[in-house]
Amino acid sequence: MEGDGSDPEPPDAGEDSKSENGENAPIYCICRKPDINCFMIGCDNCNEWFHGDCIRITEKMAKAIREWYCRECREKDPKLEIRYRHKKSRERDSNERDGSEPRDEGGGRKRPAPDPDLQRRAGSGTGVGAMLARGSASPHKSSPQPLVATPSQHHQQQQQIKRSARMCGECEACRRTEDCGHCDFCRDMKKFGGPNKIRQKCRLRQCQLRARLSPVTPSESLPRPRRPLPTQQQPQPSQKLGRIREDEGAVASSAVKEPPEAMATPEPLSDEDLPLDPDLYQDFCAGAFDDHGLPWMSDTEESPFLDPALRKRAVKVKHVKRREKKSEKKKEERYKRHRQKQKHKDKWKHPERADSKDPASLPQCLGPGCVRPAQPGSKYCSDDCGMKLAANRIYEILPQRIQQWQQSPCIAEEHGKKLLERIRREQQSARTRLQEMERRFHELEAIILRAKQQAVREDEESNEGDSDDTDLQIFCVSCGHPINPRVALRHMERCYAKYESQTSFGSMYPTRIEGATRLFCDVYNPQSKTYCKRLQVLCPEHSRDPKVPADEVCGCPLVRDVFELTGDFCRLPKRQCNRHYCWEKLRRAEVDLERVRVWYKLDELFEQERNVRTAMTNRAGLLALMLHQTIQHDPLTTDLRSSADR
Amino acid sequence: MSEKPNYALKFTLVGHTDAVSSVKFSPNGEWLASSSADKVIIIWGAYDGKYEKTLYGHNLEISDVAWSSDSSRLVSASDDKTLKIWDVRSGKCLKTLKGHSNYVFCCNFNPPSNLIISGSFDESVKIWEVKTGKCLKTLSAHSDPVSAVHFNCSGSLIVSGSYDGVCRIWDAASGQCLKTLVDDDNLPISFVKFSPNGRYLLIATLDNTLKLWDYSRGRCLKTYTGHKNEKYCIFANFSVTGGKWIVSGSEDNLVYIWNLQTKEIVQKLQGHTDVVISAACHPTENIIASAALGNDKTIKLWKSNY
């Protein structure tokens, strides 16, 4: 420790009493002066402080020194040698000191902890220095390679093992320079032909002190040793680690998914077979998950009226959300398991305790015929045992449950079947209606086309205008201005389009209906991220009325008494006709709306059918049968309804 | 009209993994809903006793469940301080009603099923709107946990009973307390409900007594005893499909049936191995469903010819 004179109370040094200056100030060094304002170095044996100038050691030289003994002590006891530090740490320390880093790795001088007064003189490292002294003292002491006395020599002989947050630099694992090539981590490395998913250091190179995972002995790390093990790894203490689980070290998610805590019941049904709440079925029957707390809340708000024609899409999104929630939950579970493993790992860092605990306190695995101890935190010793037990359970219980179920007809099932029938029929009728609509659609198009081919006859024009009352004022419903009734229709259409085009009406999903030619506008609005859901023929926002050429004829089929078609067409030029303004658009819209309605209905029916089918599946599915039972006491009574079968 | 019913055990429904807290038949008679301390509600077929589906979602034990009048919705009251409204057909939770500050103990729909009423350990009664899930009114009803709430057949009156021994009748529209019924000893009231015609109240107290009150006159008309009820809030019911009976569970593992008029015990149904906490009567058939606590965990269906 170097003193810079900033400390208020100089401690009593060893040879203080020798010379009384009359000042009562403690004196140091060979010069026996109380001067403490210069660089000083302390002997690690007699604890006397010496001025650097007096013994000709500069501060810089002192940085390289780890343990220093004064000349007297060295002469008295030849075993005391000045020890130097590694080149790299010296450099780093100088950097750190420059940056006023409080974490000074013992700037050369490490005092054994118990002298707090002396510590205070230690310049930049006051109390911190002491701590660090303590902390870094041990690895040095335990370092098997003795350091050379002179600073110059030890450069060549010392390996430059870097220290980091995960490497102490001193232990056997840190000293290894080569990957073993056999452990699971090595085999994952690209250089050994692995997919580089796990991305961890070689198992044998995991620092014993600082690594997150416990390093393993060769025998435990190699599930399938292919080569005889190199001998130099033997001296690794194996009892340090207790029992390492395969998945212990795998930080990546893949390994964590198969914990030894096998579930009480297997999942022969994949998630796809349980469309409703697969998680919760797991939770409900797995029992082992109780400690993970709460079954997932299936709390969904009553869904607002989603565009039914796209409900398929909407439903799909719900599924996605569910899966996301599920994966979140799984991540949560994983994280919790990971944390539990961390706790376990901490236990295993105390080797003796772990060892004595394992065989004695763990209960026996519940697997059939298995006498091995169960994994901690589980009821089974391995996945296999858990699976076997679950399979046995199913073989044992399921047949009689199936028989029980079939003993009496299930009323709900029959209802379900009838319902399906009805839905089928309705779907049929809806489809015929759809075809009808398509037919009308084509008809309309034909009419429109034919009408266009008519020639213009100007002379009919005059009939229209004069007979109308022009003193009757009509107010436009959209803008409120008074308008001439003759152009009222035209004006109101235009006015409405103007206002409507300013608002958006859309949903998040594009239309995906097969067999429908044009229904919805579906123009994407990037701001609101929606697709416009107005009828395409009508959308004022995204379609403009095409320019009408001067010679195009109105062509609207004329009617007598509102409903009877006369077979004749309006011959006025379209630009001038005020009675049949935009008739094609409106007729098309009518047909389209009908079609949309039929699609809605089909979608509804589809949804109902799906519901009925899932209910039928879940009612007598594997889980339902295993978890529930209806015991019939009276063999004659299968149906409690008093009237005969309805 | 026979003097005694002959209820016989027909089905035992196994499936809950913890004590069953309440069973209710759906108003259309198709389903039986059972709520349990294992945090789930199970729907069974009422006529064949077969499992139909399970409703998950609550975090803690469920104390009560009730059907809406169209048998399409359920409301459940749970120790997690919330109530949940479920759509039975899809099995989904439609709304979660939050607001109580302690366990929610009892719940019911009103006959039009646009309101839900709930009583809780926080000594209040709350009225909720089904459509929005919002609490419309909070009645600071009692000074002890509220053990039962019920609407009358027209939905205009609410009755609430509590451990403080007081039974109150409220106006559903305004939330005003119309009447307070206190018996002499202030015994905790464990259950209360209106009779089907809305004129009488059936009040169970924790002194092994069931009483039929004419609340407009404030008089106790009939008393039914013989069963054991000192600890649990055991449901009681009017059975009107065959003979006129009063049906109740009991802490001696039996289901008791009394003749409503003569007050004598006409039948005791044996079969459970733990306290029979809930007994429900089918709306159209002579079927009784009974449920028992943790030692038993089953629901039994009984049928009678009259």
Q: Which residues of B touch A634 (CB under 8 A)?
A: 8-10
Please give the pLDDT value at position A421.
95
Mean pLDDT for B3-29 is 94
Compute the distance between CA of residue A277 and CA of residue A273 in angstroms, rounded to an integer: 10
Q: Which residues of B touch A283 (CB under 8 A)?
A: 56
Please give the pLDDT value at position A128.
40
Please give the pLDDT value at position A95.
52
Q: Across the interface, do B9 and A618 touch by the CB < 8 Å criterion?
A: no
Please give the pLDDT value at position A310.
45
Of A75-84, A355-364, A393-402, A637-646, which range is least confident? Answer: A355-364
Question: In the structure, what pLDDT confidence band is assigned to residue B183 with cuts at 50, 70 and 90?
Answer: confident
Q: How distant is the Cα of B61 from the closest Cα of chain A, in angstroms?
A: 12
Please give the pLDDT value at position A334.
54
Compute the distance between CA of residue B254 and CA of residue B272 in angstroms, rounded to an integer: 7
Indicate the average pLDDT of chain A: 68
Using CB atoms, pick whichever of A300, A615, A640 lies closest to residue B93.
A300
Please give the pLDDT value at position A137.
41
Structure tokens at A403: 């028989």
The residues facing B264 across adjacent strands are none
Each residue's pLDDT tens digit, B165-178: 999 999 999 999 99
Please give the pLDDT value at position A434.
87
CA end-to-end span of chain A: 99
Question: In the structure, what pLDDT confidence band is assigned to residue A308 with cuts at 50, 70 and 90?
Answer: very low
Is residue B244 pLDDT above 70, yes or no? yes
Question: In the structure, what pLDDT confidence band is assigned to residue B70 with cuts at 50, 70 and 90?
Answer: very high
Each residue's pLDDT tens digit, A352-374: 444 445 556 778 888 888 888 88
Of A217-226, A333-342, B142-151, which range is least confident? Answer: A217-226
Instruction: Scan residues 122-181 of B and list those with Cβ closer than 8 Å to A.
Output: none
Angle at A270 between CA A268 and CA A275, to 5 degrees: 130
Is residue B303 pLDDT above 50, yes or no? yes
Of A349-363, A621-635, B76-90, which range is least confident? Answer: A349-363
Backbone φ and ψ for A533, nearest 5 degrees, come out as -110, 25
The residues facing A512 across adjacent strands are none
Question: In the structure, what pLDDT confidence band is assigned to residue A601 with cuts at 50, 70 and 90?
Answer: very high
Q: How distant is the Cα of B290 from the closest Cα of chain A, in angstroms?
A: 14
Indicate the average pLDDT of chain B: 94
Is residue A558 pLDDT above 50, yes or no? yes
Residue with token string 């009908």 = A594
Each residue's pLDDT tens digit, A490-499: 888 888 888 8
Is residue A483 pLDDT above 90, yes or no? no
Q: Across the interface, do B40 and A284 touch by the CB < 8 Å criterion?
A: yes
ipTM of the complex: 0.87
Compute the distance between CA of residue A415 and CA of residue B47 in angstroms, rounded to an integer: 13
Question: In the structure, what pLDDT confidence band is assigned to residue A397 with cuts at 50, 70 and 90?
Answer: very high
Please give the pLDDT value at position A432.
92
Compute the distance between CA of residue A187 and CA of residue A250 in angstroms, rounded to an integer: 13
Identify which has the larger pLDDT, B180 or A537. Answer: B180
Please give the pLDDT value at position A646.
45
Could you give the dihedral angle defined by the CA atoms of residues B172, B173, B178 and B184, in that order, rounded to the nearest 10 degrees?
A: 20
Q: What is the phi-psi region of residue B116: left when phi exceeds 0, alpha when psi lies from -120 to 50, beta otherwise?
A: beta
**DSSP structure string for A328-358:** HHHHHHHHHHHHHHHHHHHHHTSHHHHHHHH
Q: Which residues of A touch B10 (CB under 8 A)?
A: 632-634, 637, 640
Structure tokens at B301: 């269906």
Q: What is the phi-psi region of residue A488: left when phi exceeds 0, alpha when psi lies from -120 to 50, beta otherwise?
A: alpha
Structure tokens at B60: 């803690």
Of A144-148, A295-299, B182-186, which range is least confident? Answer: A295-299
Neighbour tally for A165: CB within 10 Å: 8
Domains of chain B: 7-304 (2.130.10.10)
Is residue A532 pLDDT above 60, yes or no? yes
Identify which has the larger pLDDT, A492 or A114. Answer: A492
* Closest to B245 in 3D by CA, of B258, B263, B264: B258
Mean pLDDT for A499-525 is 80
In terms of average pLDDT, the best of A102-106, A539-543, A634-638 is: A634-638
Please give the pLDDT value at position A36.
82
* Closest to B110 in 3D by CA, of B136, B133, B129, B82: B129
In terms of average pLDDT, the best of A95-109, A234-248, B44-58 is: B44-58
Backbone φ and ψ for B218, nearest 5 degrees, come out as 70, 35
Please give the pLDDT value at position A113.
36
Please give the pLDDT value at position A273.
42
Q: What is the phi-psi region of residue A86: left when phi exceeds 0, alpha when psi lies from -120 to 50, beta otherwise?
A: beta
Is residue A386 pLDDT above 70, yes or no? yes
Question: In the structure, what pLDDT confidence band is assigned to residue A110 with cuts at 50, 70 and 90?
Answer: very low
**Residue of A628, A632, A634, A646 to mutate, testing the B interface (most B Cβ within 10 Å of its Cβ):** A628
Nearest CA in chain B to A411: B48
Identify which has the larger pLDDT, B256 or A371. Answer: B256
With an 8 Å Cβ cutoff, is B14 touching chain A?
A: yes
Is residue A9 pLDDT above 60, yes or no? no
With an 8 Å Cβ cutoff, is B12 touching chain A?
A: yes
Please give the pLDDT value at position A324.
45
Compute the distance between CA of residue A221 and CA of residue A406 in angstroms, rounded to an integer: 53
Mean pLDDT for B243-269 is 95
Please give the pLDDT value at position A138.
40
In terms of average pLDDT, the best of A109-123, A160-174, A592-606 is: A592-606
Q: Given CA atoms B135, B139, B142, B143 in this order, what sign does their dihedral have?
A: positive
Is residue B110 pLDDT above 80, yes or no? yes
Question: In the structure, what pLDDT confidence band is assigned to residue A75 with cuts at 50, 70 and 90?
Answer: confident
* Residue length of chain B: 306
Question: In the structure, what pLDDT confidence band is assigned to residue A331 with cuts at 50, 70 and 90?
Answer: low
Each residue's pLDDT tens digit, A229-245: 344 444 444 333 333 33
Of A361-375, A597-611, B198-212, B261-275, which range is least confident? Answer: A361-375
Please give the pLDDT value at position A3.
43
Each residue's pLDDT tens digit, A276-289: 444 444 444 444 43
Structure tokens at A84: 């130097």
Of A566-570, A631-635, B13-17, B93-97, which range is least confident? Answer: A566-570
Please give the pLDDT value at position A637.
83
User: Per-residue b/e over A454-467, b at no fewer than 16 CB within 10 Å?
Assistant: eebeeeeeeeeeee
Please give the pLDDT value at position A507.
85
Please give the pLDDT value at position A92.
54
Please give the pLDDT value at position A321.
41
Compute the distance between CA of residue A558 and CA of residue A488 in angstroms, rounded to an integer: 20
Question: In the structure, what pLDDT confidence band is assigned to residue A555 with cuts at 50, 70 and 90?
Answer: confident
Which residues does A contribute to its contact with B (CB < 8 Å)?
276-277, 280, 283-284, 294-302, 405, 408-412, 611, 615, 618-619, 624, 627-634, 637-642
Question: In the structure, what pLDDT confidence band is assigned to residue A15 with cuts at 50, 70 and 90?
Answer: very low
Please give the pLDDT value at position A69.
87
Q: Is B77 helix (H, G, I), strand (E, B) or coil?
A: strand
Neighbour tally for A487: CB within 10 Å: 13
Q: Which residues of A touch B286 (CB under 8 A)?
A: 642
CATH tag, A38-82: 3.30.40.10
Q: How distant is the Cα of B302 from the closest Cα of chain A, in angstroms?
A: 9
Mean pLDDT for A137-149 is 42
Residue with token string 């005889």 = A228
Q: How distant is the Cα of B260 from the closest Cα of chain A, in angstroms?
A: 24
Is residue A143 pLDDT above 50, yes or no? no
Identify which has the larger pLDDT, A233 or B226. Answer: B226
